[in-house]
């Protein structure tokens, strides 16, 4: 009996000791942690979104801005029954139950952060959710901000898009230091991404009481949002819209630049995407998220003949009036090298060879100059090198080693040589201005919410290419004649003189059935260039690209004042420095 009493007493002592130790752990060792949880569970800061700055074109017309919207959000910690709530919500807002449940049950770094379920609710959806609020613990409606892009897909590849920060991005030091949390919206591509730190504002919020089930009660206070800074771009909305219309549904890209300072006037790549409704574009064909202007890498075709001409003239391997006979082809060893004109151009010098884009002439002078010299000049003009434009993930292209290519192929821009359309704009712009390679750029000014300028981006000359005035004049005259009697002669304008070069790129047509690529690199007016441009078309020819370019320039110069006004406001100091015909049966050159 005494033994049983002793055993019972010891058991009681052990249980009391366990209870005391547990209380010590909960109240002393973990007391502060649970105290913070209790505070956060009854008083919440409900964030109302991070207001981003407005993105304007060069004439202060908005290209991206925030607009208020009613959003459906939830706080993971407060959810009553995710499965039941996903079931109900799927009927109220017409979203698949599986995707809703996946979002509601995902692991979040902070279960008290608000997560957006739907960015824009209709009036009918708001009514339905409010009627069923008692069954949706932890899910509620609040005012938020929605990013709008007035020009839609026309500016998609310049502006990019915004989206919620990912768990991987949250681990980046720059975002950690900025205090970003789950649910924060950041720039994910384009200018929105490149300048995110400048245009991202500071979120405001409402301090509310919350009961044990997560329902909001009394509002205790408010914290005002601070909007981000604004961006003034070099883009001209009028030119951008003209380019978008004229490129139409073609797959390709157009880049227009001011050859006097490197400012990008327009940049369009197609297919594009709707930045306000991204989801449906993730599975679309044609790679709508590929910015072909800066990431597409292609052989330049006959546009490269500009480089071949400079390398042969400057090295003294040809003079202006040296002539070559084109009979439609030449034999080199056991190889027959064909001209696009199989009937032959006859005897011609560079003054006629450049406008007619004669393959035999350029193959001949390319062999005289040699592969090394052409590669040297290609690199001198910075082909195969990223331009440094302020857009993310620009590609560099590729200039091959001399062991990888022969003179004939390289002389007409074929073989392993790869360039981006932006690099070709830089090339033709450098010819237009007589030798300055400008760093292309899109953002020229950052202002605060009161329009005070806090940062300006001045034009930068990367380098000056020293070409003799004689060689430069010969090439410029040849480019003008392309549109007078050469390969672009059918597409000249009556009132605006254009200088340019066509290019049709062979892509294993016979072997793989691939179509050609079409290029047209140009500037205008020819004697006083104010715009340089490259039109690139997938599965097309040089003449087809020329037609698009002519139509764009015709409309742009009909706007006249747009470019003239900018010239008056140019940041560059002295020291720093018709009829368009349709194409039905095109010839390849």
The 10s digit of each residue's pLDDT in 512-541 is: 566 789 999 999 999 999 999 999 999 999
- Asked if 49 contacts 68 with a C-beta cutoff of 8 angstroms, the reply is no
Listed range (3-17, 251-265, 531-545) with the worst mean pLDDT: 3-17
Per the structure block, which two tokens stand in for 122? Answer: 């209709």
Q: Supply the pTM of this predicted model.
A: 0.84
As a whole number of angstroms, the distance between CA 545 and CA 168 comes to 42
> What would the mean pLDDT of 318-332 be, rounded to a whole number?
95
pLDDT at 392: 97
pLDDT greater than 70 at residue 586: no
pLDDT greater than 50 at residue 558: yes
The packing angle between helices 237-247 and 542-558, to 10°, is 150
Q: What angle do CA 13, 15, 19 make, to 5 degrees?
A: 115
Helix residue ranges, H only, 25-141? 31-42, 82-92, 97-105, 123-131
> What would the mean pLDDT of 548-559 be, rounded to a whole number?
94
pLDDT at 167: 83
Phi, psi of 52 (to 5 degrees): -95, 155
As a whole number of angstroms, the distance between CA 378 and CA 427 comes to 9
pLDDT at 574: 32
> What would the mean pLDDT of 8-17 be, rounded to a whole number?
75
Using CB atoms within 10 Å of the CB of residue 462, give its burial: 0 to 12 exposed, 13 to 18 middle, 19+ buried: middle
Q: How does DSSP classify residue 263?
A: B
Listed range (177-191, 383-397, 531-545) with the worst mean pLDDT: 177-191
Per the structure block, which two tokens stand in for 403? Answer: 């062991």
- The residue among 242, 254, 257 whose CA lies nearest residue 555 is 242
The packing angle between helices 82-92 and 123-131, to 10°, is 140
Can you say whether the dihedral through the CA atoms of 395, 267, 159, 448 is positive or negative? Answer: positive
pLDDT greater than 90 at residue 76: no
pLDDT greater than 90 at residue 140: no
> What would the mean pLDDT of 552-558 be, rounded to a whole number?
94
The larger pLDDT score, comparing residue 359 to residue 212, is at 359
3-state percent helix, strand, coil for the chain, nearest multiple of 5: 40, 25, 40
Digit-coded pLDDT (tens) for 272-313: 999 988 888 888 888 999 999 999 999 999 999 999 999 999
Residue 491 CB contacts under 8 Å (≥ 6 apart), including other chains:
483, 543, 546, 547, 549, 550, 580, 581, 583
Report the chain's C-alpha Rg in angstroms: 32
pLDDT greater than 70 at residue 582: no
pLDDT at 537: 96
The DSSP annotation for 291-344 comes to -HHHH--B--GGGGHHHHHHHHHHTTS--TT--EEESSEEEETTEEEEPSSTT-
pLDDT band at 565 (very low <50, low <70, confident <90, very high): very low
């Amino acid at each position: 009996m005494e033994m049983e009493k002793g055993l019972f007493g010891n058991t009681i002592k052990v249980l009391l000791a366990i209870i005391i130790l547990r209380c010590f752990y909960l109240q002393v060792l973990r007391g502060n942690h649970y105290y913070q949880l209790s505070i956060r569970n009854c008083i919440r800061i409900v964030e109302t979104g991070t207001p981003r700055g407005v993105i304007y074109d060069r004439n202060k017309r908005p290209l991206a801005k925030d607009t208020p919207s009613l959003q459906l959000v939830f706080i993971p910690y407060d959810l009553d029954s995710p499965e039941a709530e996903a079931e109900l919500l799927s009927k109220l807002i017409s979203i698949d139950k599986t995707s809703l449940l996946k979002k509601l049950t995902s692991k979040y770094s902070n279960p008290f952060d608000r997560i957006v379920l739907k960015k824009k609710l209709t009036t009918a959806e708001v009514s339905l959710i409010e009627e069923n609020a008692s069954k949706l613990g932890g899910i509620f409606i609040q005012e938020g901000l929605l990013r709008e892009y007035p020009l839609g897909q026309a500016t998609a590849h310049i502006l990019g898009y915004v989206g919620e920060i990912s768990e991987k991005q949250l681990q980046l030091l720059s975002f950690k230091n900025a205090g970003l949390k789950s649910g924060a919206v950041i720039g994910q591509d384009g200018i929105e991404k490149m300048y995110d730190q400048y245009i991202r504002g500071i979120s405001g919020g409402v301090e509310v009481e919350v009961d044990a089930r997560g329902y909001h009660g009394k509002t205790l206070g408010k914290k005002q949002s601070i909007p981000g800074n604004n961006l003034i771009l070099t883009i001209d909305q009028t030119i951008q819209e003209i380019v978008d219309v004229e490129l139409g549904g073609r797959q390709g890209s157009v880049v227009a630049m001011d050859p006097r300072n490197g400012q990008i006037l327009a940049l369009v790549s197609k297919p594009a995407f709707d930045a306000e409704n991204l989801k449906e574009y993730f599975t679309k064909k044609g790679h709508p998220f590929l910015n072909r202007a800066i990431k597409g890498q292609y052989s330049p075709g006959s546009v490269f003949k500009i480089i071949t001409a400079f390398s042969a003239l400057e090295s003294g391997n040809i003079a202006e009036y040296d002539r070559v006979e084109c009979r439609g082809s030449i034999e080199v060893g056991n190889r027959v090298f064909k001209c696009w004109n199989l009937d032959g151009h006859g005897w011609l010098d560079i003054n006629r060879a450049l406008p007619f884009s004669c393959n035999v002439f350029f193959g001949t002078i390319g062999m005289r100059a040699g592969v090394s010299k052409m590669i040297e000049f290609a690199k001198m003009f910075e082909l195969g090198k990223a331009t440094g434009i302020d857009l993310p993930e620009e590609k560099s292209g590729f200039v091959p080693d001399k062991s990888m290519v022969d003179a004939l192929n390289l002389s007409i821009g074929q073989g392993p040589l790869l360039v981006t359309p932006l690099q070709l704009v830089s090339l033709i712009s450098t010819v237009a201005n007589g030798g300055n390679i400008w760093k292309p750029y899109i953002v020229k000014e950052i202002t605060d919410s009161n329009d005070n300028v806090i940062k300006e981006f001045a034009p930068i000359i990367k380098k000056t290419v020293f070409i003799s005035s004689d060689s430069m004049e010969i090439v410029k005259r040849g480019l003008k004649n392309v549109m007078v009697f050469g390969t672009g002669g059918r597409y000249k304008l009556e009132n605006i003189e254009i200088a340019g070069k066509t290019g049709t790129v062979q892509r294993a047509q016979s072997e793989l059935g691939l179509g050609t690529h079409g290029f047209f690199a140009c500037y205008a007016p020819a004697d006083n260039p104010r715009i340089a441009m490259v039109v690139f078309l997938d599965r097309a020819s040089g003449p087809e690209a020329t037609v698009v370019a002519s139509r764009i320039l015709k409309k742009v110069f009909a706007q006249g004042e747009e470019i003239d006004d900018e010239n008056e406001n140019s940041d560059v100091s002295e020291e720093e420095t018709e009829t368009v015909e349709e194409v039905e049966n095109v010839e390849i050159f």
